[in-house]
Amino acid sequence: MQLPPLPELNHPTIQSLSQKSDQDLVTSFQRYSESGQYFAAIFCRYGQVLYTLMTTSTRSPVQADYLFAKTWEHIYNELRSLDLRAHTPKLSLQSWLINIAAMMINRADLPPVEEIQYSLSTTPPVFWCYLNQALNQLPGDLRLVLLLSQTFRWSNTRIAAYLQAEGDNTSASDVQKQLARAYQAFDLALPEDIRDIYLSQRPSPETINSLR
């Protein structure tokens, strides 16, 4: 099964990195943490290989997409400290990625299809990784109102009532102001090149709803 037409696959920023070696991409990803393009380039180079493994190893396309995203989230975290040259015998990036995918498939404890909120076409795995990173960087109060509003679809009035029950004297209009600050902080927490690749506007409710 082919990957859907994800934004990064034909983006000029990513295409400009096509001649970079795997080692150069890994080194740049580790060195320039404020940029997302190097991780996106690695995904574009090997995403189809891993997607084929996922789709042939799971019963449902929905579960395959979810496992695919979780696998790239694991890769994102592990890649920060990866040193391919330290492996004996020497390990290629492709081999390392396939090993990670095999481990994730073997260990997969996937939720039922009806419980999976993730959508590959709405939130590609690379974007998902950086969205979660940005979400984790938000102050706790802003993260809470953003998740209550977008993930749980609570109204400003209901959010205010919940916060008041927790001892926070917050009105519905205060919640609206907090949401505006949350969106602004969320956007700023995303790397500039990630915003350029994936966002023409602020993240949609469907995008934020797919997080976690």
Q: Which helix (H) or strand (E) holds 125?
A: helix 125-137
| CATH fold for domain 7-115 | Rna Polymerase Sigma Factor; Chain: A (1.10.1740)
pTM (whole model) above 0.85: yes
CB atoms within 10 A of CB 195: 17
Q: Supply the pLDDT for residue 206.
A: 55
- How high is the mean pLDDT of the chain? 91
- Residue, of 113 and 212, whose pLDDT is higher: 113
pLDDT in tens, 96-146: 999 999 999 999 889 999 999 899 999 999 999 999 999 999 999 999 999
| CATH fold for domain 125-209 | Arc Repressor Mutant, subunit A (1.10.10)
Q: Is the pLDDT of residue 87 over 60?
A: yes
CB atoms within 10 A of CB 128: 22
- Contacts of 46-51 spanning 24+ positions with Cβ under 8 A: 46/93, 46/94, 46/97, 47/3, 47/72, 47/125, 48/2, 48/3, 49/94, 49/97, 49/98, 50/97, 50/98, 50/101, 51/1, 51/2, 51/3
Domain ranges of the chain: 7-115, 125-209
| Cβ-count burial 158-183 (b if 16+ within 10 Å, e if not) | ebbebbeeeeeebeeebbeebbebbb
Stretch 63-75: mean pLDDT: 97
Q: Please report which confidence band the pLDDT of residue 200 belongs to, taking 50, 70 and 90 as the band edges.
A: low
Structure tokens at 2: 């082919």
